[in-house]
Structure 1
Amino acid sequence: MSNNELKAPFQYKKIPVNQDASKDKKKAKNMTGTLLRIWSYLVREKVKLSLVILMVTISSGLSLLGPYLVGTTIDKFIVTREISGFGLLLISLLIVYLFHSLSLFLQSFWMIGIAQNTVFDLRKDLFRQFHRLPISYFDKRQHGNLMSRLTNDIDNVNNVLNSSVIQIFSSVLTLVGTLVVMLMLSPILTFVTMIIIPLMYFATRWITKRTGPLYKMQQKDLGDINGYIEEVLSGQHVVQTYSQEKRVIHHFEQKNNQLKLTGFWAQNIAGFIPKVMNTLNFLSFGLIALVGGILSINTSLVTVGMIVIFIEYSRQFTRPLNELSNQFNLLLSAVAGAERVFNVMDETPEEDDEEDALEIKSTSGHIIFDNVSFAYESTLILKNISFEAKPGETIAFVGHTGAGKTTIINLISRFYNYDGGSIKVDGNELNKIKRSSLRKHMAFVLQEPFLFQGTIRDNIRYGQLEATDFEVEKAAKDANAHEFINQLPNGYDTILDHEGSGISQGQKQLLTIARALIAEPSILIFDEATSNIDTITEIKIQDALHRLMSGRTSFVIAHRLNTIQDADQIIMLEHGEIVEKGNHEALIKQEGHYYQLYKGQLVEEANKSLE
């Protein structure tokens, strides 16, 4: 280990925190608030929780009774060598420890059930929240980091609930009960036992003040590395294509080293607690034996059995303190994870539909933009956009990256709300239509086809869950996908992973077209669905797209201009404004922006063919 690493515990506050983490920390609830929110989930299991509390109370009481019976046995029978009644006391002692073990088993059994139900509800609520959040939330965050909230952070809460809740409650009861019994037996020996308590308190406080920030950093670093791994694995093809393996490995090692450092010092500093506690325990035993022995020899205030009771009670008194300090560290880790979970739950969800929002049962796809403007985080993206898409027309958007093409699509889909102007669908203001109702009449065919893990049949049926097998196969035939599906080993029952391993990019696109076909939408959204596809498959895709677009209003984000020459309208965008509008022939005659872009692509394609 390097010298830099050895200095880490005195430098952990200097560990860099990324922007997302600082936002989380800023928004995180305090520890009390987070614990109260976790408690609000626990109290849903009132019956089981009451049984657990009962069992903890019984086990704590029996743990106090056991040592008392042992001390009584020593004074009444071993010291006096009296046999009468000895067997009965031993049987009583056996019964006490049997019931103590049974109560421990039951409280653990019920608490595990409570913990599992609690984390089940937490995961369910967090997953539902993901689906209530706007698209913009996911655009700004690593998906792996969000996945870490759903897995690692909730697992930390689960681990604490399984063990720590019981131990904390049991430790508090044992502490109070032990102190009361000790005071009743011998105030002098109780005072001797209490001498080490201030030392324990200050030692524990010193340690936990340092482990708390480290546990938070550990959770943050774990989320960062999960996000980076998910990103790199998803883009592995790009990484290898550009020979960036060394770079991503180097970045991973940096993040891994960061996690190693925070984890190393969090665990090590937390590990000081049991060592300090054990040392102080031995000091307490020595003091009790010394003072108790002197009092036993010189007075009648203390007996040998009482010394044994106090040594055991001293262990029982310091053990809960030890457990509380250990569980406090685990609790800090769980709170750090729970804060990250609740941060997501506290994010503002996608705006609710207006109270008078319309439920549209059908739409002709007549859409009008009238001086529409949109700003994203104070930056104006669209400026006074106006156009009309009549039912069944195809509208193509062209322009350089950042011109606003995708933003217009997001407005039509109500993923974002426009700031100025008006968008109307069949005469109804768009923001007065229920989102679910609107999207029910829409279908998307994107540049990067996405397939879910499952069968080909289920992936097509995702567009219409009630579709029959016959309708699925008809959609596949119309999408020109039926032939290649039948060539697969299990046909429509072939199982794909989420990346569609085993089929080509073009075949994936045909499946997404079949998915759109089976939905029978009125409005279609295309994002250059034929990019990077071989010529033969492109012909099949174009044929399927023409069949899909027939009689439907279609919006196309075009990258290759030769694919949109038949569009009813081509809208040329630059810096969020419409600079040209018309069909292909009209725009070519103008010899303006569109003409220059089209001519440039022709030259580029000619050069490629010569190569």
Structure 2
Amino acid sequence: MAKSTKNVFDMTLFKRLLQFIKPYKWVFFSTLVFVVGLAVFGALRPWVLQQAIDNHVVVKDYNGFMFYIIVMFVLLVLEVTTQLLFIYYASWLGQSVVKDIRVKLYEHMLSFRMKYFDNSSVGVLITRAVTDMERIADIFGQGLFMIFSDILKMAVVAGFMLFLNWKLCLIAFVTMPIVLYATKIFQRYMKRAFEEVRTEVSNLNSFVQERVTGMKILQLFTREETEYKKFKAINERHKKGWLKTVWYNSIFFPIADFLSSITLGTIIWVGGFMVVNTKTASIGDLTAFIMYIPMLFRPLNQIANKFNTLQMGMVAADRVFKVLDTTSQIDDTGTKIASHFKGNIGFKDVHFSYVEDEEVLKSISLDVKTGQTIAIVGSTGAGKSTIINLLNRFYDIQKGSICIDNVDIKELTLKSLRAQIAVVLQDVFLFADTILNNITLKNPDISEAEVQQAAKDIGIHDFIMSLPNNYHYNVKERGVMLSSGQRQLISFLRAYVTNPSILVLDEATSSVDSYSEQLIQDATDKITRGRTSIVIAHRLATIQKADQIIVMDSGRIVEQGTHNELLKKQDGYYRNLYEVQFLKEEVA
């Protein structure tokens, strides 16, 4: 951060941004042509007026004067037309570049491993993909080309002023260095202010997103007042960040206007003296200079203002590129495509930790045969769900190997691996979309007829048909229009229709009512028949029919066997779990 603050403009970052212009070269160069046209047409009008006054108005040649009026009108039309094309194509280019960067950013984020999302704020990522992108678009629409246009206009205007009367021009040039120096200082402070603003915007977005998502928890635990105070503090920092930019603007622009007015007044005073007494300037010269001074100084103000926009865009681009430069992908170097698994799963001496030197799994070894239903039980934090994450390669192990059908999963492409494994999670996530789209996830290979047949197979077709618009019922964000049990059933159907080689049920019945649980149990018997299945559950009554039960504790397998075999072990871990849970159910 210190480096970016020290440098007013990061040329390396800017060059990288320009790489995204390559597909739109013709628009870029056309816009540059419009910029040149704006500068030339604008600077020609005062010169034409000077010619009209000195050559025709002063000598009272009104016929020739009308010709210059027509020329000025034509120049004005050309300037307006050029400005229209310039604004449109500059903005078009900005939005096209941002579209490409946003697509690249989203594609990049889709490949991130789960660890990245574990350590990143959702609000910050949303800011990068949405708000920061708009700031990047402004670099082209309101920043880069505008600055180039203003600089070119100033150069052309200065050339015309020197050509008309170099003595009057010197008056303007005396104050120019002062304005340029003030602009340089202004830009330096504005960059710092905008970096602070972007940080506070990210913090604000993150805070609001998390609190809105968790509003139910806040209200249940009466944390409204506390969170309100936190929000006020964050909002206050956000306001102070913006007020710094307002303060710098309020200092710079009045100074620039003051110097412009002083320069204009001096030119009128000196120029008037030269017209009346020394005859070294004409009325036309003085009139042209009165028009040129605002054209010379206004771009300076605009450059400073547009540089603000450019700085905000550059800060946003720096943040976006940092995400793009993040290497948090699972290495998808596998070349084998898994078209269908028989279902043999093998863990051999697997060690894994989310945080370095804090192992979650310790020397895990297990074998699952084709068509078997394996249950994994244990207390919270024992490592049950971690096994599922590793099987899908959401994380990579530090030691050991995981094989399916005697092939290391690292040798398989990620897409084909995950396509053969269906997972039903305890925390069901549904999108703000129809039930049909939440089941198929818009997979064109799964028809509505197939979904309906699958729903009939597991007994939830009638429930879906009872909803308004049945399979096209919009469940809203996170499926709030459905009960937890209904959401779980939809999630189960989502896994079922993919016809997976391996089925994973991660606490799939832990949050459903008795009726929904019975539906899922009936469907489980159907879908697991002849298919390798892994069931993770706290409720031991749901896994008694499993071919093998794996008991875990503190990242290790402590017991293994069938339900009846494990119950026979005196003071066994599984037997203790079962008896405690059975007693609780008896008391209930």
TM bucket (normalised to shorter chain) is over 0.9
1:361 aligns with 2:336: no
- Count residues in correspondence: 585
Take 1:498 and 1:244, find their aligned partners in 2: how far apart are those partners?
23
Partner in structure 1 of residue 530 of structure 2: 551
Question: Once the two structures are superposed, what CA deviation does each residue of 1:275-320 show, in whole Å capped at 9, x if it has no partner?
Answer: 2221111011122122223333332322222122223222111111
Kindly provide the CA deviation profile for residues 97-127 of structure 1, in whole angstroms up to 9, marking residues without a partner as x: 1111111111122222222211211221111
In the other structure, the counterpart of 1:5 is none
Q: CA deviation at 1:463?
A: 8.1
1:45 is matched with 24
Alpha-carbon distance in structure 2 between the residues aligned to 1:88 and 1:332: 45
Give the aligned CA root-mean-square deviation in angstroms.
2.3
Whether the 8 Å CA contact 1:129–1:349 is kept in 2: the answer is no
Name the stretch that deviates more: 234-243 or 422-431.
Answer: 234-243
Instruction: Tell me if 1:595 matches 2:575.
Output: yes
User: Greater CA deviation, 28-37 or 103-112?
Assistant: 28-37
Give the Å deviation of 1:341. Answer: 1.4
Q: Which residue of 1 aligns with 2:392?
A: 413
Match of residue 350 from structure 2: 372
Question: Residue 279 of structure 1 aligns with which residue?
Answer: 258
Aligned in 2, Cα 1:30/1:431: closer, same or farther, shift over 3 Å? farther
- Percent sequence identity is 32
Structural mapping, 1:469-508, within 5 Å: 469-508=448-487
The 2-side partners of 1:313 and 1:401 are apart by 76
Distance 2:539 2:562 in 1: 15
More displaced stretch, 254-263 vs 384-393: 254-263
Q: Work out the CA distance in 2 between the residues paired with 1:49 and 1:217.
A: 31
Normalising to structure 1: TM-score of the pair? Answer: 0.91
Relative to structure 1, is the Cα distance of residues 218 and 443 closer, same or farther in structure 2, using a 3 angstrom cutoff? same
CA contact (8 A) 1:270 1:329 kept: no
- CA drift at 1:454: 2.3
Deviations 1:65-111 (A, max 9, x none): 00111222222233333324111111111111111111111112222
Amino acid at match of 1:476: A
Residue deviations 1:348-368, cap 9 Å, x none?
A: 1524432x6211211111011
Match of 2:324 in 1: 345
1:294-309 → structure 2 map (5 Å cutoff): 294-309=273-288
Quickly say closer, same or farther: Cα 1:29–1:432, change in 2 above 3 A. Answer: farther
Letter of the 2:467 counterpart: L
How far apart are the structure 1 equivalents of 2:251 and 2:456? Answer: 68
1:578 to 547, 557, 569: 557
Native 8 Å contact 1:397 1:405 kept in 2: yes
Q: Secondary structure at the match of 1:488?
A: coil
- The one-letter code sitting in structure 1 at the alignment partner of 2:343 is G
- Aligned-partner Cα distance in 2 for 1:606–1:241: 30
SS, match of residue 507 in structure 1: helix
Q: Letter of the aligned partner of 1:455 in structure 2?
A: T
Which of 217, 221, 227 lines up with 2:206 in the alignment? 227
The corresponding residue for 2:232 is: 253
2:56 aligned partner, one-letter code:
F
**Counterparts of 1:571 and 1:25, CA distance in 2:** 54
Pair 1:503–1:320, CA change in 2 (3 A): same
Corresponding residue SS for 2:478 = coil
2:415 paired residue number: 436
Q: 1:168 to 1:448 in 2, by over 3 A?
A: same
Between the aligned partners of 2:577 and 2:255, the Cα distance in structure 1 is 74
- Distance change (3 Å), C-alpha of 1:308 and 1:603: farther
Structure 1 residues 140 and 197: CA distance shift in structure 2, 3 A? same
Letter in structure 1 aligned against 2:289: F
Higher mean Cα deviation, 579-588 or 316-325? 579-588
Shift of the alpha carbon at 1:30? 7.0
- Specify every segment of 5 or more residues in structure 1 that has no aligned partner in the other structure, as ranges: 1-21
Read off the aligned partner of 2:85 and give its amino acid letter. L
By how many angstroms is 1:23 displaced? 12
Task: From the superposition, tell whether residues 267 and 580 of structure 1 become closer, same or farther in structure 2 (CA, over 3 Å).
Answer: farther
Secondary structure of 1:496's partner? coil
Deviation, structure 1 residue 580 = 2.3
Q: Tell me the TM-score normalised to structure 2 length.
A: 0.94
Conserved in 2, the CA contact under 8 Å of 1:449 and 1:512?
yes
The 1:276/1:588 distance shift into structure 2, 3 A limit, reads farther
Unaligned ranges ≥5, structure 2: none
Cα 1:519–1:140 shift into 2, 3 Å: same
Q: Distance in 1 between matches of 2:270 and 2:69?
A: 29
- What is the distance in 1 between the residues matched to 2:459 and 2:249? 62
8 Å CA contact 1:524–1:555 kept in 2: the answer is yes
Question: Partners in 1 of 2:258 and 2:132 — Cα distance?
Answer: 33
Cα pair 1:513 1:545 within 8 Å, conserved: no
Query: Per-residue displacement from partner, 1:141-195 (whole Å, max 9, x unpaired)?
Result: 1212211111111111223422223311211211221222222222322221012
Aligned to 2:377: 398
Cα distance, 1:25 vs structure 2: 8.0
**Higher mean displacement: 438-447 or 34-43:** 34-43
Using the alignment, how far apart are the partners of 1:375 and 1:347 within structure 2? 21
**Corresponding residue SS for 2:112:** coil
Residues 546-587 of structure 1, C-alpha deviations (whole Å, 9 max, x = no match): 222222222222222332222222223233222222223333
- Match of 2:445, SS state, is coil
Q: Which amino acid aligns with 2:210?
A: E
Find the counterpart in structure 2 of residue 85 from structure 1. Answer: 64
Q: CA deviation at 1:464?
A: 5.0
- Distance, in Å, in 2 between the alignment partners of 1:406 and 1:465 is 30
2:440 match: 461
Counterpart AA for 1:166 = F
Q: Distance in 1 between matches of 2:63 and 2:482?
A: 86
